[in-house]
Amino acid sequence: MLKEIHFSKWKSFDESVLYIDPLTVLIGTNASGKSNALDGLEFLSRISTGKDLQSSLMGDPTLKGIRGGIEWAALSSHDEFTLGALVQGEDEKTDYLYNITVSVRPYVQLKSESLVRIRERSNTPKNPYTVNLISADNTSEDSPSIIAKLYNGRGGTKRECKKSHSILSQLYNLSIQKDVSKGVDIVCKALQGIFILDPIPSLMRNYTAFSKVLNNDASNIAGVLAALPTDEKKRVESILLKYAKQLPERDITEVYTKPVGEFERDAMLYCKEDWGNEEIKMDARGMSDGTLRLLGILTALLTRPSGTQIIIEEVDNGLHPSRSKLLLNMIRNISTERQIDVLVTTHNPALLDELGPEMVPFIVVAHRDQMTGESKLTLLEDIESLPKLMAYGKIGKLSSEGKIEEALAEEAAQDE
C-alpha cells in the first residue's frame, strides 16, 4: 500500500509530500495544485506498467496525455522533475522508498532512479537499516542506455537498461537477486494498483461488452457487473441497491444488469423505482447523472482488487449536498471492508462538514505560496491556528470562506 508520494520540481510543486491514508481528503481552491498532485500519481502508475516516459506524459493513440504534457511537467525554469513513493513492505517494519528523476529537455529521458529498502531495527527504531536495492544515474546524455547497480549482498551487480522507460518496469518479473526482486514486485504492484476514477454519466448509458476491469470513466459498468459470477453478481447488485435506493425521492427497488443482443455478450444497466401504484422500470439512459456516478464509484469499490488505491476527483460531483453523509459512509464502509485506500478531492462544504473532527489528521490542503506561486501540501492538523479556526466553524465553512488559506498565508508571513 502507498504511504507517501513525493513531488520535487513536478509541475507547480517545488518540494512537497502527499501523505496517503486509508481515506485521504485533498482540498484546496481552484489552481491550488490538487490536479497536479493526482497527475503525479497517474504518471507513476503508467511508468510502472512499462509505458515509456514520453508517452506517459504526452499520451499516444491509446492513452490520454497528462495535463500540460511534456512542456509543463517540470516546474517553471527547470528541465527535470523527481517523483517518489514510500510503499508499505512485506511487514509493518519494512518500507520501500522509490524515486525517479526524468529530464524533459532537450528530450524526455531517465536521469536517475533508485529503490531503497528501509527496515526498522528492534532496538533502535529511529535509526532504521537501509539497503540500496537499485541505484542508477545518467552519466552520458547521448547514450540510449543507463547502468543500474543492483544489490546482491556484496558489491552489487550491474545491468544495462533503456533510458526511455523506468528501470523498475524493466526489472519487473525478471529473474534477479531475491531482495531486489521482492522490492520491485511490491513497489510495482502498489503503483500499478493506482486507479483514477472519473465516472462520466453520458458514457455510462450505453450497452457495453462483458468485461473484467472497470474503465476509468466507468463507461463499461454494465459489462463489468454482468460478467461477475452469478453469486458475486447478486451480492454486488444488492449493495448497489442498498445505497442507490437512498438517492431519489421515490424508492429504488432493484438495480441489476442483463445480457442483451443475439449473442448476449453485451449488457445494459437497469433499475426499478416504486412510484406508489406503479413500478417504473428504466435502463441507464433514463437514470440521473448523480445516480450513475454513485453506481460507478460503488462498482469501483466493489470490484477493484484489495490492497489497491482508488482516486476520485470531485467525488461528490452530481450529488445533492444532502446525500454527502450517504456518500461518505459508503466509501468508509466498503473501503475498510475490502482494504482499499481511497483518495478524494472535493469543494463541497456539506461533505467536508460530514467528515467531523476525527478526520482532521487525514485532510490535506493544497495551496499556493504567496511569494513564489509554488504549490504546497499541508496537513490540516499542522496548521498552528487550527483550534481557533475550528472554534469558528466546521471544516466546510472554513473552506468555503477561505479561512484555511488565510491562516496558511498568515503563518507563512510570520515565518519569513
- On whether both 387 and 257 belong to a single domain, the answer is no
- On whether both 62 and 187 belong to a single domain, the answer is yes
- On whether both 360 and 213 belong to a single domain, the answer is no
Can you give the C-alpha Rg of the chain in angstroms? 23
Contact 351, 268 (CB under 8 A): no
Q: What is the pLDDT of residue 249?
A: 63
3-state secondary structure of 22: coil
How far, in Å, CA of 338 to CA of 193, rounded? 14
- On whether both 281 and 359 belong to a single domain, the answer is no
How far, in Å, CA of 407 to CA of 405, rounded? 5
Q: Which of 295, 330, 358 is the last residue of a domain?
A: 295
Q: What is the pLDDT of residue 269?
A: 96
Q: What is the grid cell recorded at 217?
A: 470513466
Q: Which of 251, 272, 295 is the last residue of a domain?
A: 295
Kindly state whether residue 300 falls inside one of the protein's structural domains: no
- On whether both 84 and 172 belong to a single domain, the answer is yes
Contact 413, 370 (CB under 8 A): yes
* Stated length of the chain: 416
Amino acid at 145: S
Q: Which of 234, 262, 295 is the last residue of a domain?
A: 295
Torsions phi, psi of 15, nearest 5? -140, 115
Kindly state whether residue 400 falls inside one of the protein's structural domains: yes
Kindly state whether residue 85 falls inside one of the protein's structural domains: yes
Q: How many C-beta atoms surround the C-beta of residue 143 within 10 A?
A: 12
3-state secondary structure of 59: coil
Per-residue pLDDT of the chain (416 residues; tens, 9 = 90+): 999 999 999 999 999 999 999 999 999 999 999 999 999 999 999 999 999 999 999 999 989 999 999 999 999 989 999 999 999 999 999 999 999 999 999 999 999 999 999 999 877 777 889 999 999 997 777 788 999 999 987 778 999 999 999 999 999 989 999 999 999 999 999 999 999 999 999 999 999 999 999 999 999 999 999 999 999 999 999 999 999 988 876 688 999 999 998 888 999 999 998 877 788 899 999 999 999 999 999 999 999 999 999 999 999 998 888 899 999 999 999 999 999 999 999 989 999 999 988 999 999 999 999 889 999 999 999 999 999 999 988 999 999 999 999 999 998 887 76
- Strands 94-103, 80-88: pairing kind: antiparallel
Kindly state whether residue 301 falls inside one of the protein's structural domains: no
DSSP codes, 187-206:
HHHHHHTEEEE---GGGSSS
Kindly state whether residue 246 falls inside one of the protein's structural domains: yes
Q: Identify the CA nearest to 259 among candidates 309, 211, 216.
A: 211
The dihedral sign for the CA sequence 309, 313, 318, 324: positive
Domain harbouring 162, CATH code: 3.40.50
3-state secondary structure of 226: helix
Contact 1, 307 (CB under 8 A): yes
Q: What is the pLDDT of residue 167?
A: 97
Beta strands in 109-203 (DSSP E): 109-119, 129-137, 145-150, 157-162, 194-197
Q: What is the pLDDT of residue 414?
A: 79
How far, in Å, CA of 386 to CA of 308, rounded? 32
Q: What is the pLDDT of residue 250?
A: 65
Distances (CA, A) of 226 to 84, 216, 304, 360, 365: 38, 18, 15, 39, 39
- On whether both 185 and 207 belong to a single domain, the answer is no
Domain count, the chain: 2
How far, in Å, CA of 3 to CA of 88, rounded? 7
Kindly state whether residue 302 falls inside one of the protein's structural domains: no
- Beta bridge partners of residue 196, listed in sequence order: 311
Residue 254 belongs to domain spanning: 201-295
- On whether both 209 and 113 belong to a single domain, the answer is no
Q: Identify the CA nearest to 258 among candidates 302, 293, 215, 207.
A: 207
Contact 319, 205 (CB under 8 A): no
Distances (CA, A) of 39 to 58, 66, 111, 174, 375: 12, 7, 20, 28, 14
- On whether both 160 and 214 belong to a single domain, the answer is no
Kindly state whether residue 389 falls inside one of the protein's structural domains: yes
Distances (CA, A) of 93 to 20, 22, 121, 151, 341: 17, 18, 8, 20, 20
Kindly state whether residue 394 falls inside one of the protein's structural domains: yes
- On whether both 145 and 172 belong to a single domain, the answer is yes
- On whether both 263 and 383 belong to a single domain, the answer is no
How far, in Å, CA of 53 to CA of 58, rounded? 9
- On whether both 82 and 206 belong to a single domain, the answer is no
Query: CA torsion 97→171→308→36, rounded to 10°?
Result: 60
Distances (CA, A) of 337 to 307, 324, 340: 11, 20, 8
Does a cis peptide bond (omega within 30 degrees of 0) precede residue 248? no
Q: Identify the CA nearest to 48 among candidates 226, 257, 213, 195.
A: 195
Q: How many C-beta atoms surround the C-beta of residue 177 within 10 A?
A: 15
- On whether both 257 and 114 belong to a single domain, the answer is no
Q: How many C-beta atoms surround the C-beta of residue 53 within 10 A?
A: 25
